[in-house]
Homo-oligomer: A and B are copies of this chain.
Amino acid sequence: MSELNRTVPRVGMVGGGQLARMTHQAGIALGADFSVLAASPSDSAALVCGDVRLGDDRGLEDLLAFGKSCDVLTFDHEHVPEPVLRRLEEEGVVLRPGRDALRFAQDKLRMRVRAGELGAPCPRWRPVSEPGHVEAFAEEAGWPVVLKAARGGYDGKGVWVVGTAAEARTVVERAAAEEVPLLVEEKVDFSRELAVQVARSPYGQVAAYPVVETVQRDGICHEVVAPAPGLDPDTAVQAQELAIELAHALGVVGMLAVELFATADGVVVNELAMRPHNSGHWTIEGARTSQFENHLRAVLDLPLGSPEAAAPVTVMANLLGGEDPDVYGRYVHVMAKDPGLKVHFYGKQVRPGRKIGHVTVLGDDPEELLARARDAAAYLKGDPQ
């Protein structure tokens, strides 16, 4: 409990990235005390949070001290090793989501096994420990195939599309040298990518957000359109029910994002994340309750807020760094051109290709909103179209 107000719990978020930054922003309205464990004072969340602890956000010692000073811990990333999570729980630290849930977000092999047991539609896949496994799999599934690091990947890192046995061998040997477990998946023939988010509280309440379309480039989410244009209502409900089922079955507390491939035969599960997710940044303005607020409400075991859309269509575009670091200097042009546009900047040092913010626009016409969001993102990157 807080020293200042004994009736209010303290939430600690592990990791100081932009997800923690935007969770802090949502937490201000809730009035719960919010702390962040960040690796550096220049981390995105550390720049704006009222209570910042500096330390190793993956190591037992700092996490234990942090956990003991908070009522509940939650996570900005999936990188805390499982043995550390185990020790934290043994020491009485409340983790939400807990270790039992997180291991499915941390390990794609475990996730695929469990999703299969639950009957969730998944790509064909196989664990890989030697190059021959890939070739054998590709004989069935056809080249190219997708190799994935079971742990540690994000934003396209740890994913390789390989078209030949030789290419596969290079990846498998490098992974073996680094002791990274691999799996191979069929390259799904999808028409587009979708994502669906649900919040789940310890009480078991769930709130499912509208299904969105995500546009990925180089493994990075570039754009989100909410709701997914032209999605047939049955498929939307199927996707939401799938996410709800996974949230219950995996024991998720907080936000669960399920990234999906839309195929001729329905949706197929691509990835899971148990935290606020890039595919849900649109909810800050575009839903009655943002993913960040519902993550906190779930973590605090409060009743969840309405995930209902606040406008017919919301479009989010990520803002990637360009060559010129002066993003702020370009605000004047973007804001003057489009007063209805909302800019979110994460305070991160600009590097080419790095996610440094996002923009959001609300309205009626997906194409018009996409054009506005792309225009702003291109301008802010220093690359007007």
Contact = CB atoms under 8 A, between A and B. Distances in A.
Contacts of A7: 325-329
Contact of A4 (B8, B29, B42, B49): B42
A342 interface: yes
A288 B340 contact: yes
A238 interface: no
A335 B297 contact: yes
A302 B288 contact: no
B306 A347 contact: no
B49 A347 contact: no
Contacts of A30: 331, 343, 345
A18 to B, nearest CB: 10
Contacts of A289: 339, 342
Interface in A33-68: 33-34, 42, 46-50, 52
A46 B357 CA distance: 25
A332 B362 contact: no
Given A21-B28, A25-B25, A342-B29, A335 B4 contact: no
Interface in A156-215: 207
A340 B306 contact: yes
A216 interface: no
A304 interface: yes
Interface string A313-327: 000000000000111
Given A302-B335, A339-B289, A47 B4 contact: yes
A308 interface: yes
Nearest to A356: B31
A273 interface: no
Contact of A28 (B8, B24, B339): B24
A5 interface: yes
B343 A29 contact: yes
A362 B329 CA distance: 35
A196 to B, nearest CB: 19
9 contacts: A5-B325, A8-B347, A21-B28, A28-B48, A31-B328, A31-B347, A289-B342, A302-B332, A303-B332
List of 9 A-B pairs having minimum Cβ-Cβ separation, nearest first: A31-B345, A303-B335, A303-B336, A306-B339, A48-B50, A306-B340, A7-B326, A29-B344, A25-B28
Given A31-B347, A46-B50, 9 more contacts: A5-B347, A25-B28, A29-B343, A30-B343, A31-B328, A31-B357, A47-B50, A308-B340, A310-B310
Interface of A: 4-5, 7-9, 21-22, 24-25, 27-34, 42, 46-50, 52, 207, 285, 288-289, 297, 302-306, 308, 310-311, 325-329, 331-332, 335-336, 339-340, 342-347, 349, 357, 362
